[in-house]
Amino acid sequence: MQGKIGLEEHFAIDDTLHDSKGFLADSTWPELESRLMDMQERRIAEMDRHGMQTMILSLNAPAIQSIPDAKRASDMARRANDFLAREVAKRPSRLQGLAALAMQDPDGAARELVRCVKELGFRGALVNGFSQIGDPNSMVYLDDARYRGFWAECERLDVPFYLHPRNPLPSAAQIYEGHPWLLGPTWAFGQETAVHALRLMASGLFDRHPKLQIILGHLGEGLPYSMWRVDNRNAWTKAPPRYPAKEKLGFYFQRNFHLTTAGNFRTQTLIDAILEVGADRIMFSTDWPFENVDHAAIWFDACSISEADRLKIGRTNAERLFKLA
């Protein structure tokens, strides 16, 4: 399929580059470093070879979210956003941007989102999970009451918000002790992000802001497979929910969430996601440079779905959500 749009596609700046070291073997670092720092050459060549029209770019992880000092985090987010805006301006038909935000300062993050959307032309934001605020050992999630004003601004701007993974801090990762291979994209990324998304659903956020649209990568971080059980465990007891949200969580999953294929190139999993949320809420992505464009594109172009759904997932859903057309 020609004209695909990808929206979980990453880059780094000098200050955040080494946040991506350690997820892969040391022997692969020179290659990953080259991929992360390239903006206009190999990236565009890979897109051309595999039918991608546009990449919507975002900063690598955890980056801004791992800086406990709010002022330093805000300064770095602004520098990263200004850098990305300059790169997008060179090829706006091929590259677009998602804002990096210092959620350590909720009011400042709202102002930066407005600046990125209104002045830089960005299409939304991507935040790497919880933020460390003040204390390096803190983990502040986005259902916290301090973010109420931020979410109101996000809804007012009518731009999507990408909830991207990060590993739990060592102090909260005892279950992985002795099994470091479970960290990162193998397992911990998905589990951490799935729980974060469930917290948002249960908090009442989408009752207050029903137009908010959240994006999850990797075909939903396992949630499509689990949402029925989340809402229907021990149904014979008829126990009322023990959270503030007014609806079952599956309601918000189908109304307020979108999924991407980033880093999860499996037809059976894609079909399950389609059955749970519908083809209108799934979008193609590769997870470059951590995954290969060719692995994503060759699989997607041949996977056993209808051509109508392939067009939606490959292009038109993203055009509509990000107002690209």
Q: So which residues are the catalytic ones?
A: 287
> How many other C-beta atoms lie within 10 A of the C-beta of residue 69?
15
Kindly report the backbone phi and psi dihedral angles of residue 283, in degrees, each rounded to the nearest multiple of 5, phi listed first: -135, 145
How many CA atoms are closer than 13 Å to the CA of 249, on its beta-carbon side?
A: 25
Per the DSSP assignment, residues forming a β-bridge with 216 are: 163, 259
User: Which position has the token pair 């992880």?
Assistant: 61
DSSP 63-132: GGGG--SHHHHHHHHHHHHHHHHHHHHH-TTTEEE-B---TTSHHHHHHHHHHHHHTS----EEEESSB-
Would you mind telling me the total number of residues written for the chain in this entry? 325
Q: Which residues of 132-161 are buried (b: 16+ CB within 10 A; e: fewer)?
A: bbeeeeebbbbbeeebeebbebbbebebbb
Structure tokens at 115: 């600046």
**101/178 Cα distance (integer angstroms):** 33
Backbone conformation region of residue 190, classed left if phi is above 0, alpha if psi is from -120 to 50, else beta: alpha
**226/221 Cα distance (integer angstroms):** 10
The enclosing H or E element of 164 equals: strand 161-164
